[in-house]
Amino acid sequence: MNVDKSLSPVALLNKTLEDNPIYSTPILIIAGISHNSLRMCLETVLMQPGVNLQNVIVAVDEKFIESLALIDLFGFHGEKIPSSNVYMEHYEKALKKVWELHPTKDKIIVIEEDLILSPDFLYTLALLSEPFRKDETIGGIAMWNPNSYEDVDGSSNLIYRVDELYGLGYLLRRSFYDTHMKTFSECCSKRVWDRWKFDDNSHSFLIPDISRVFRRPVDGNHDNMKYLARLFNRKRKTSLNPFPGLTNVDTLRKETYDATLSKSIASAILLKLPTKCDTLFKIDISVYNTSQTFKYIYNQSSSTDYSNLSLITRCFGLFYHETTNPMGLYHGVLRFSSNDNNYYLVGSKSSLYSSSSDPVRIQST
């Protein structure tokens, strides 16, 4: 960075979004111990068109106050947080602090350590602010998709509902925090990739088909290094389009989304996979004609049985690890796009699936 060069935010180019609530939403950056990682994150925050410097709060552990000079250089507000032993303790204190600083705000944007934002991070959130406002079953909008790998080659235009909050960079509803995250140690004592668990499943979350944040690859020695490497060190796809056109914003509210998804699944082409598919890393899904919608029905013994799906995810190059369930599910349906085709991996026990139109035998309930 050239410290002699004046740092200034990028103006909002799309004037129709001037009154969008996202641009007045507090942005909490929960800094870790890497000075270089923080610098890169702050650079990509500053480059977000329409960012308001006064809204950006960078939470720094009081043991590492040398970062405050860097934060001040960008014009952001550095907030010293009482010292913690581990990052998630720091995380909990930072969340609590930002709500104290903004007691009237009904949402915040959270950015974890080691992240680089895509150029359309705030823009995409702005486009999603209306369904988020109208549908209180949406607890948050996570801007990282665990299945957004480069060789899957998804679409920057699609947004999905999912059952889990995948964190990293996300919009968080205050009412969801108050109900499910205030007792932080019960839901979220581990890193978000260890799968945060909440008391009930009455909320869903939005995620983009292609991630709007990039997490730097993991290095060093970790007990679960193989798992982390599959999540973060395999080549990922992150949006580079500063102004993507989202095509399904009007269908994201729960009732409309469920009805639209069920209808789309019913009319999709039934996909047959090779008999050896569960032993392969990836099948060539580019052989199909473009702009088609396919479904594959995986058998379940119960609505929470994902053993067959775990094998199938490898066939498409989606995230797979033998110790955990697949990611990106919504009521038993794993949805993704690849090479302009849409895919639904549908559980036989999913509430969104009806077997009446498919020539396959599904175990009766």
The rounded distance, in Å, linking the Cα atoms of 365 and 358 is 17
CA distance linking residue 232 with residue 221, whole number of Å:
14
Closest CA to 244 of 117, 149, 130, 125: 125
pLDDT of 194-203, one tens digit each? 999 998 888 9
Torsion sign over Cα 24, 25, 31, 37: negative
Q: In 10 A of CB 199, how many CB atoms?
A: 10
| Mean pLDDT, range 223-229, rounded to an integer | 88
Q: How much is the pLDDT for 275?
A: 66
Q: Which domains are seen in the chain, by residue range?
A: 15-243 (3.90.550.10), 265-357 (no CATH)
The 10s digit of each residue's pLDDT in 62-87 is: 999 899 999 999 999 999 999 999 99
| Residue pLDDT, tens place only, 102-129 | 999 999 999 999 999 999 999 999 999 9
pLDDT at position 222 over 80:
no
Q: Please give the pLDDT value at position 200.
A: 81
State the DSSP code for 281: S
Average pLDDT over residues 134-139: 97
pLDDT for the residue 363: 34
> What does the pLDDT read at residue 7?
85
Q: pTM score, two decimals?
A: 0.93
Is a pLDDT exceeding 80 seen at residue 18? yes
pLDDT at 364: 33
pLDDT tens by residue, 144-174:
999 999 999 999 999 999 999 999 999 999 9
Helix ranges (DSSP H) in 102-203: 121-127, 129-134, 174-176, 184-187
- Classify residue 72 as left (phi > 0), alpha (psi -120 to 50) or beta: alpha
* Amino acid 1: pLDDT: 52
pLDDT range class, residue 218, cuts 50, 70, 90:
confident
Q: Higher pLDDT residue, 340 or 205? A: 205
* pLDDT value for 358: 58
Cα dihedral 87, 89, 94, 95 sign: positive
CB atoms within 10 A of CB 227: 18
Rounded distance between C-alpha atoms, residue 160 and residue 167, angstroms: 15
Distances (CA, A) of 5 to 51, 73, 198, 248, 340: 19, 10, 46, 41, 42
Confidence of residue 288 (pLDDT cuts 50, 70, 90): low
Phi first, then psi: give them for residue 192, nearest 5 degrees.
Answer: -65, -25
SS3 37: helix
